[in-house]
């Protein structure tokens, strides 16, 4: 990416994102307006400058993946999808939380809104699942194109996520973060929105540790950028943020990255900035009118579109087409260079392994995860019926184990990870990759949230369903 310089049109687009988010919640009568208002400059910077995507083809296999872990702030993403030209319309924003007919529900839903990579809502789940996405990219590239420098491979892409304190507080994110660092998932960048607000007040009621030091201890690259200035003023310095992100990617190619951004929720809404009430309730007519007045909008007009700023933001689709064209050339060159190995074919513009018929034949019920026992899941990897395996117990040896190395294909390296691997692998998001997860009955409650999430999200790849193997009533063999 070239150096990012914010223009007047960028600034106007960010202001429009704030106003549209406030209007959408106000019309719905309920929702979470504060974070979408203050996250607008961060999300805009990512979508316009860092995330490689093609709004003309949301399922393009070469795209980067973006996950909004705090799904309650869904308008953050919906507005950027509208700006980018994904087919999300102004009427969709007006129909936010509009019931069964809406394409913009309170939390992002995979398969409903173009450009949404996964359903998010349970705090920490999206963070952990982003690590599954990162696993999937590395596995696919390591299987199909291991010798090519990653930046030159058609199978390389990045995973981006935004999380908040609510995600960081959850144990599931801590386990997954530890695993991500251990596995050196350098393709993952997480923006940590640190606004210190939760629905009950200041987050220091329940979260007091130095989060960056904790992630450094895991092995992550960390950095911090603050919109809150030393003199107490507030500046949404997107150029400085872009420089921080670019520096992280250059400094730590083999580490997952956590960039903490200090923000004030709902800024600059009068009477609601840095106020817990802006987290989970509409801002109110007076506050929304004050926000519009501060940003140069007519307080009496709702859902006003700055057409010139929108046209500027929509140019990202042109850049996406160019990136897609470059990827097509890389992919064609790879196909030509690999005529006799595990070649890829084109299926709905996705790279799918030649042995996909065997994958299709693997037992599953619709798009839902398959529930079988641990012995079968261990055998699945051993007999080449699954590519990545995460297990808590090996019934053949009665030993506690966890996973086979997904990148080096070294079977037999095991360690205990009872929760986060299962979470991650429910979201390994790449065609042709089959995941086996095994768990013993003593730990079945660990799986309840992951199973529910997998059931809701179903499978990101309906052409090659990622099977999940679970046995709730396993008697381990002696």
Contact 370, 353 (CB under 8 A): no
According to DSSP, the residues that pair with 198 across neighbouring strands are 201
What is the C-alpha separation between 91 and 64, in angstroms, rounded? 27
What tokens were used for 367? 């798009």
**Ordered alpha helix ranges (H), 191-281:** 211-218, 238-251, 277-280
Identify the CA nearest to 378 among candidates 406, 397, 358: 397
Contact 23, 282 (CB under 8 A): no
Which of the residues 26, 137, 418, 427 is marked catalytic?
Answer: 418
What is the C-alpha separation between 122 and 102, in angstroms, rounded? 21
Tokens 């086996």 belong to residue: 436
What is the C-alpha separation between 142 and 463, in angstroms, rounded? 21
The DSSP line for 106-167 is SS--TTTSTT--S---STTHHHHHHHHHHHHHHHHHHHH-TTS-GGG-TT---EEEEEEHHH
What is the C-alpha separation between 236 and 306, in angstroms, rounded? 20
Contact 244, 223 (CB under 8 A): yes
SS3 state at 197: strand
How many residues are there in the chain?
A: 478
Quick one: which H or E segment has residue 188?
strand 188-194
Contact 395, 476 (CB under 8 A): yes
Report helix, strand and coil shares of the chain as percent, to nearest 5: 40, 10, 45
CA dihedral 115, 125, 259, 151 (to 10 degrees): -50
According to DSSP, the residues that pair with 67 across neighbouring strands are 161
418 annotated active-site: yes
Identify the CA nearest to 15 among candidates 316, 317, 309: 309
Give me the active site residues, please.
418
């Amino acid at each position: 990416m070239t150096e990012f310089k914010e223009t007047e049109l960028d600034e106007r687009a960010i202001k429009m994102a704030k106003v549209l988010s406030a209007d959408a919640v106000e019309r719905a009568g309920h929702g979470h307006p504060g974070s979408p208002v203050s996250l607008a400059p961060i999300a805009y910077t990512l979508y316009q400058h860092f995330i490689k995507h093609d709004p003309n083809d949301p399922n393009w296999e070469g795209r980067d993946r973006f996950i909004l872990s705090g799904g309650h702030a869904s308008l953050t993403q919906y507005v950027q999808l509208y700006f980018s030209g994904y087919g999300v319309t102004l009427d969709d924003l007006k129909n936010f939380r509009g019931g069964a007919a809406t394409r913009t529900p309170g939390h992002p839903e995979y398969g409903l809104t173009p450009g949404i990579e996964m359903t998010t809502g349970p705090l920490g789940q999206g963070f952990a699942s982003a690590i599954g996405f990162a696993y999937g990219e590395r596995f696919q590239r390591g299987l199909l194109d291991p010798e090519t420098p990653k930046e030159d491979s058609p199978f390389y892409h990045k995973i981006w996520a935004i999380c908040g304190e609510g995600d960081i507080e959850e144990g599931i994110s801590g386990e997954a973060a530890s695993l991500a660092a251990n596995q050196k998932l350098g393709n993952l960048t997480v923006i940590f929105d640190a606004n210190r607000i939760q629905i009950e007040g200041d987050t220091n009621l329940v979260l007091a540790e130095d989060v960056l030091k904790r992630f450094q201890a895991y092995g992550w690259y960390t950095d911090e950028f603050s919109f809150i200035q030393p003199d107490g003023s507030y500046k949404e310095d997107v150029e400085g943020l872009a420089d921080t992100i670019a520096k992280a990617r250059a400094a730590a190619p083999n580490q997952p990255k956590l960039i903490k951004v200090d923000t004030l929720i709902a800024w600059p809404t009068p009477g609601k900035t840095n106020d817990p009430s802006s987290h989970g309730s509409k801002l109110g007519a007076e506050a929304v009118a004050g926000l519009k007045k501060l940003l140069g909008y007519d307080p009496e007009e709702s859902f006003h579109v700055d057409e010139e700023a929108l046209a500027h933001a929509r140019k990202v689709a042109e850049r996406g087409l160019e990136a897609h064209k470059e990827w097509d050339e890389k992919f064609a060159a790879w196909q030509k260079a690999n005529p006799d190995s595990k070649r890829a074919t084109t299926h709905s513009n996705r790279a799918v392994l030649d042995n996909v018929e065997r994958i299709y034949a693997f037992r599953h019920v619709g798009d839902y995860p398959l529930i079988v026992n641990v012995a079968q899941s261990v055998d699945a990897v051993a007999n080449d019926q699954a590519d990545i395996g995460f297990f808590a117990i090996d019934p053949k040896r009665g030993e506690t184990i966890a996973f086979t190395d997904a990148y080096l294909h070294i079977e037999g390296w095991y360690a205990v990870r009872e929760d986060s691997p299962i979470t991650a692998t429910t979201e390994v998001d790449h065609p042709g990759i089959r995941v086996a997860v095994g768990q013993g009955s003593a730990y079945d409650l660990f799986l309840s949230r992951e199973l529910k999430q997998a059931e809701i999200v179903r499978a990101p790849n309906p052409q090659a369903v990622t099977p999940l193997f679970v046995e709730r009533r396993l008697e381990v063999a002696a």
